[in-house]
Amino acid sequence: MGSCNLCKYPSEDKIIEKDNTLETPVEALKEKKPKNDISEINIDYRVNTVSSGISVNNSISESIYIIPTEISKHENIKKFYEISTTILGRGGSSYIFLSKKNNSRFAVKQVLKGGVAKPEEILREANISLSLKHEHIIKFYEIFEDYYSIYFVMELGDYGDLFEFITFSEQGYLSPDITIDLLIQIFEAVDYLHNNRKIIHRDIKAENFVLCINEYNQLNIKLIDFGLAIKKPENGEILYDIIGTRKYQSPEMINGNGYDEKVDEWALGVVMFSMLTGYEPFRRTGDHKLEESILYDGINFEIIPDDDLRLLNARLLDRNVDTRITCQEALNFLKNLKLHRDPLYNDQYYLYQRNMFIDEYKRAINEKLNLYRRDTL
């Protein structure tokens, strides 16, 4: 495994391994859960949509639920899925667990009620997630809700995330051929969001792309986490809320000038720079200094070891939103680039190096997640 420059700025969503005695949030709730089943609870569990706080009174009500029955099951998820103690990731008020049903493996995202996410935000995430159908966007199968949490059952990305893939590389960054292949898939996913579904993701980052790799070492990358995603306002209204992961935020968002889907293109530029260099383009410490860096610092595109990809990256990290390249334009550029380079990248030397790297990565991830426990839960 290489010593990547990105590791100096650690991910917030790294895989966390625990032993079988770990008390997960799911397990911890057992002690707090009322003895009666959810249908027998004699209190009204109301979620305050203003502050996301919880208030209680003495009436029976369906208001304990955030997600309507049309799109969720108001039942205990453990009746249907085995939930592992293996935590694949975590957020402000959510955890992602490995799970199993009928010998098939899934990822389950548990969102705690009364946490950072407000009820209307959770409902928005549910509606958006279930509406998406694309080969490079993680599949959402069903949603469960109980007294304490909401659970999103989704496809499992077998081989970690893009951050891990970059940092595993011996040289600390990805080769141009692998980068082009992955970027085409990434831009296809985001272009689908923008142009087919009219959705802005608002939290594009390396950790929010997971990898699936088949027996032929073909890479399939998938976009995840729609907790901050929002439908583009139909009336042309401008968005102003500052949201997402700081180092991926665009200049127009930080300035408070209002923004649209171009914030996703900017974030993709940050991801692309990391893929090609092993560095993040803005690395000052502290929120204020990082914002200053995003707004004013020059970007050292010269360290990108490929002329065509350097040009594209500069077009994505364009502080002028009017001239910043769109996903569709970037996708066309990459497809043409791949068409002209395929004869070179199908050379035996390139294929051997590529397969050797992917095989080593697969072995490392399998060892890290412990295959025996993954299969047996």
CA pair distance 252, 224, nearest whole angstrom: 24
The angle subtended at Cα 343 by Cα 352 and Cα 182, nearest 5°, is 65
Q: Is 24 helix (H, G, I), strand (E, B) or coil?
A: coil
Active site residues: 203
Nearest to 186 by CA among 253, 139, 135, 147: 135
What totals of helices (H) and strands (E) does the chain contain, helices first?
Answer: 11, 11
CA pair distance 251, 325, nearest whole angstrom: 15
**327-345 vs 307-316: helix crossing angle, rounded to 10:** 170
CA pair distance 191, 211, nearest whole angstrom: 19
- In what helix (H) or strand (E) does residue 180 lie, and over which residues does it extend? helix 176-191
Q: Which two tokens stand for residue 133?
A: 């159908």
Q: Would you say how long the chain is, in residues? A: 377
CA pair distance 209, 224, nearest whole angstrom: 6
CA pair distance 9, 345, nearest whole angstrom: 31
Give residue for tokens 């940050």: 270
Torsional class of 368: left (φ above 0), alpha (ψ -120 to 50), beta (otherwise): alpha
